[in-house]
Structure 1
Amino acid sequence: MLKIEDLYKEKDNNVIKNINIDLQAGNSISLECCNEVSDLLLDIILGKEIPAKGKVYLEDKLNITYFKKSISEIGVILREDSFYERMSIKSYMKLFEEILGTKINYKEILLKVALLDIEDTEIKKLNYSQRRRLSLARERLKEPKLLIFQEPILNMDREGAKIIIENIEEMRSNGTAVLTTSLLFKDTLMLGDKAYRLNEEGLIEIENNSDENDRGEEIDKRPVYKIEKIPAKVDERILLFDPTEIDYVESDQGISTLNIRGDKFPCSLSLTELEDRLKYFGFFRCHRSYLVNLQRVREVITWTRNSYSLNLDDKIKSSIPLSKGRLEELKAILKL
Structure 2
Amino acid sequence: MLKIESLYKKQKNNIINDLSINLKKGSSISIECSNEMSDLLVDLVLGKQLQMKGEIYLEDIKNLEYVKNGSTNIGIIPREDAFYERSTVEEYLKFFNSILCSKVDYRDIMIKFELLDIANVKIKKLNYSQRRMVSFARERLKQPKLLIFQEPILNMDREGTKIIAENIEELRSNGTAVLITSVLFKDTLMLGEKAYRLNDEGLLQLDNNIGQLNKDGGKIEEKKPTYEIEKIAAKLDERILLFDPKEIDYIESEQGISNLFIRGDKFPCNLSLTNLEERLKYFGFFRCHRSYLVNLQKVREVITWTRNSYSLSLDDKVKSSIPLAKGRLEELRAILKL
Structure 2: how far apart are the matches of 1:82 and 1:41? 20
Q: Aligned to 1:276, which of 275, 278, 281?
A: 278
Q: TM-score, normalised by structure 1?
A: 0.94
Aligned residue in 2 for 1:138: 138
CA, structure 1 residues 245+65, in 2 after alignment: closer, same or farther (shift >3 Å)? same
Q: In structure 2, what is the equivalent of residue 155 of structure 1?
A: 155
* 1:199-237 CA-partner distances (Å, limit 9, x unpaired): 000111123469xxxxxxxxxxxxx98521011112222
For residues 146 and 105 of structure 2, what CA distance do their matches in structure 1 show? 20
1:77 aligns with 2:73: no
Is the Cα–Cα contact under 8 Å of residues 194 and 209 in structure 1 kept in the other structure?
Answer: no
CA shift in 2, pair 1:36/1:225, >3 Å? closer
CA RMSD of aligned residues (A): 1.4
- Counterparts of 1:103 and 1:166, CA distance in 2: 21
2 CA distance for matches of 1:278 and 1:209?
Answer: 19
In 2, Cα distance between equivalents of 1:208 and 1:278? 21
Partner Cα distance (1:236, 1:151) in 2: 35
Residues 1:122 and 1:209: Cα distance change in structure 2 (over 3 Å)? farther
Measured at CA, do residues 170 and 209 of structure 1 come closer, stay the same or move farther in structure 2, by a change above 3 Å?
farther
Q: How many residues align?
A: 324
Corresponding residue to 2:307 among 305, 308, 324: 305
CA contact (8 A) 1:28 1:193 kept: yes
Read off the aligned partner of 2:67 and give its amino acid letter. Answer: F
2:291 matched to 1:289?
A: yes
Alignment of 1:1-336 (within 5 A): 1-208=1-208, 227-336=229-338
- Following TM superposition, the consecutive aligned residue runs of length 4 or more in structure 1 with deviations greater than 4 angstroms are none
Distance 1:52 1:208 in 2: 32
| Contact 2:34–2:182 under 8 Å retained in 1 | yes
Range that drifts further, 234-243 or 52-61: 234-243
Q: Which runs of 5+ in 2 are unaligned?
A: 211-225
Alignment partner, residue 218 of structure 1: none
Unaligned runs of 5+ in 1: 211-223
CA deviation map 1:275-314 (0-9, x unaligned): 1111111100000000000000000000000000000000
| C-alpha deviation, 1:12, in angstroms | 2.1
| C-alpha separation in 2, matches of 1:120 and 1:264 | 43
Q: How big is each residue's C-alpha offset from its partner over 1:135-193, in whole Å with a ceiling of 9 and x where there is no partner?
A: 00000000000000000000111111111011001100000000010000000001111
Q: Which moved more, 1:71-80 or 1:110-119?
A: 110-119
The CA deviation string for residues 68-114 of structure 1, in whole angstroms up to 9 with x for no partner, is 21110000000000000000111111101110101210011011011
Distance 1:253 1:103 in 2: 45
For 2:103, what is the secondary structure of its paired residue? coil
Q: List per-residue Cα deviations over 1:234-256 (Å, max 9, x = no partner).
A: 22221110000000000112211
Distance 2:206 2:268 in 1: 19
CA shift digits 1:252-271 (9 cap, x unpaired): 12211110011111111111
- Scaled by the length of structure 2, the TM-score of the pair is 0.94
Helix, strand or coil: the match of 2:310?
A: strand
* Identity value in percent: 71
Amino acid at match of 1:294: L
